[in-house]
Amino acid sequence: MIAEILTWLFTPATLDARRTGHLTAAVSLWSRARRCRSAWAPHEARCHAVVLRAFADLPRRRTCVVLGSGLVRDVPLAALSAAFERVLLVDVVHLWPARLAARRHRNVELVSLDITGTTDLLLGRATGLADPLRRFREDPTVDLVISANCLSQLPLQPVERVQAGGGLARIRFPDLGHRIVAGHLDALRRFSARVCLLTDSDGLDIAADGTVLERRPLLEGVTLPPADEDWDWILAPLGEWDPAYAVHHRAHGFADLHAAVARTDRGR
């Protein structure tokens, strides 16, 4: 608890990231990631393998953009740094583990950005959503975009804040969560660069005898095309959140999202 408070206080984060709850969420993720390190290891290894496949055949390797880079656990940073001229780690907040990891590579930069474009809406400074990924779409040097297990996380803070605060945003955007998830997927599809998507889609509460007690959709009603790979991410082993059940997330890896979408469209 003390470590969490100190991290919250001493992480260089914007006032916006503190006010919107993103810093608090990031600190709690860091804390959980430390406690569940061994349970998460197989998931992180699967993610690394998908990312390595995503650029194995890429002829040009100038800029790689990692969206939702977080603690940089589920992307192989050393391999990306060696393969690309420049790697941009994009997250609404960068905790010290990410800052230290970035410092080890001369071509890795941190970009602090709310990729949902909701911050101004949440803080009452705008009435609509911004398009924060546009700057990367318009950068002709971007050859690989990785959306790194952030899709299901993106609506959490905005929806919670809008529901708690009421006001105009709640009336104007009753479907805010759906818009954020669908908007992120749409923004990924509009990149001409290779796009690698890592995401979870469902949460399952699983009893000690393997019975599924509850299944929760995590993507606000948005469906994904069939992925290249699917696996279970043991998010909370038995006893981490509740002594009676473990929490698993159904996880998916798309080495090439454009190809997965094209396959689905052809099958219709």
Ligand X SMILES: C[S@@+](CC[C@H](N)C(=O)[O-])C[C@H]1O[C@@H](n2cnc3c(N)ncnc32)[C@H](O)[C@@H]1O
* Interacting residues toward ligand X by CB under 6 A: 22, 26, 29, 68-75, 91-93, 114-116, 148-150, 153-154
The position carrying tokens 């805010």 is: 176
- Beta-bridged to residue 215, according to DSSP, are 204
Q: Which is nearer to ligand X, 60 or 131 (CB)?
A: 131
Minimal distance, residue 209 CB to ligand X, in Å? 28
CA distance 123 to 64: 31
- Beta-bridged to residue 60, according to DSSP, are none
Q: Which is nearer to ligand X, 151 or 246 (CB)?
A: 151
Q: Which is nearer to ligand X, 94 or 208 (CB)?
A: 94
Q: Which is nearer to ligand X, 186 or 207 (CB)?
A: 186
Minimal distance, residue 211 CB to ligand X, in Å? 26
DSSP assignment of 77-98: HHHHHHHSSEEEEEES---HHH
Q: Which is nearer to ligand X, 180 or 193 (CB)?
A: 180
Tokens of 58: 């890429």
CA distance 249 to 158: 21
Sort 59 into a burial class: Cβ within 10 Å, 0-12 / 13-18 / 19+.
Answer: exposed
Closest residue to ligand X, based on beta-carbon distance: 70
Minimal distance, residue 29 CB to ligand X, in Å? 6
Minimal distance, residue 66 CB to ligand X, in Å? 7
CA nearest neighbour of 190 among 119, 136, 122, 111: 136
Minimal distance, residue 151 CB to ligand X, in Å? 9
